[in-house]
Amino acid sequence: MLLVELRKLVRRPRTWVSIGLLAGLPTLVAVFLKITGIGPRPGEGPAFLGAVLSNGALFPAAALALVLPLFLPVAVSVMAGDTVAGEADHGTLRYLLIRPVGRTRLLVAKLVVTIVFVFLAVVVVAAVAFVVGATMFGVKPLPSVSGQTIPAQDATWRTVVTVVYVAWSMLGVGSIALFASTLTDSPLAAALGALAALVTSQVLDLLDAAASVKPYLPTHYWLSFVDLFRVPILWHNVSRGFALQAVYIAVFLGAAWANFATKDVKS
């Protein structure tokens, strides 16, 4: 079942189009920066982007910061929202269940596919950004956000942790979308449901009146990976972000399972 799901993912043009677009956006930004030489002033615009002009080694982190607020969660929501609802929409869900594929098994396979897609997307974005950054801006030892220099070796593992952190955050999004996907037979509605949750979270995160709930919002710690490029690393928000996403992932996967395992499949 798992291999079948992976085959479906890989053979689907949409998978590659969305990953291509995700990697394309930072590349486009890099081209503009390179041609004009105008970067955002320090402390303004997307994280790291100002520093990228002088050092391409920061570009993977900058690229992730570019796609993280909107583009990446949209891609993940659309993909994960399609997992179960898409099968229902094609009329294939009933045939999979009759085949028979156990409901829990089907859901686990869909989850694994979501994880694979998320990691693939994040890694491809980071890798493409590394190549683009290195060729366009050159690689030097990283100046940290705090001012000191980060040795190259150190920079590598910080980037790896960043990739894992972003992927983990996106898995939170994927879990919400997967749950939504078990609620409806329309992949579009499922993706929209997940995005509605994220937009709500982002709006509340900007609202001073919502200060009391901010630390529990799914999007609150997304950009905290910037702290990984400080010396010394500020682990507080990063570890809180990891833990918070773990709770979201557990709750929404549990809800998805509880709903799907007991649901009348009428699609």
Partner 1 sequence: MSDLAVIRTEGLTKRFGAVEAVRDLDLEVHEGDLFGFLGPNGSGKTTTVRMLLGLVFPTAGRVELLGQPMPRAGRTVLREVGSLVEGPGFYPHLSGRANLSLIDAAGPGGHRADRRRRVAEALERVGLAEVGRRPVKAYSTGMRQRLGLAAALLRSPRLLVLDEPTNGLDPQGMRDIRDLVVELVDGGTTVFLSSHLLAEVEQICTRAAIVNRGRLVAQDRVEALLAPTGRVRITTPDPGRASELASGLPGVGLGEWRGERLTVQLDGTSPEALNRHLVAGGVPVRELVVERPSLEDVFLELTGGDSADGRRGEVPDAAG
By CB under 8 A, name the binding residues for partner 1.
1, 3-4, 7-8, 11-13, 90-102, 262, 264-266
97 or 231: whose CB is closer to partner 1?
97
Alpha-carbon gap, residue 51 to 40, rounded angstroms: 9
For residue 14, the minimal CB distance to partner 1 (Å) is 9
For residue 102, the minimal CB distance to partner 1 (Å) is 6
Alpha-carbon gap, residue 239 to 164, rounded angstroms: 12
73 or 187: whose CB is closer to partner 1?
187
SS3 for 243? helix
For residue 95, the minimal CB distance to partner 1 (Å) is 5
13 or 43: whose CB is closer to partner 1?
13
Nearest to 59 by CA among 26, 37, 31: 26
100 or 151: whose CB is closer to partner 1?
100
For residue 98, the minimal CB distance to partner 1 (Å) is 5
Alpha-carbon gap, residue 2 to 194, rounded angstroms: 24
* Ramachandran bin of 205, using left for φ above 0, alpha for ψ from -120 to 50, beta for the remaining angles: alpha
92 or 239: whose CB is closer to partner 1?
92
Which tokens sit at 227?
């702290």
CA triple 66-72-76, angle to 5 deg: 175
CA triple 66-205-145, angle to 5 deg: 45
For residue 176, the minimal CB distance to partner 1 (Å) is 25
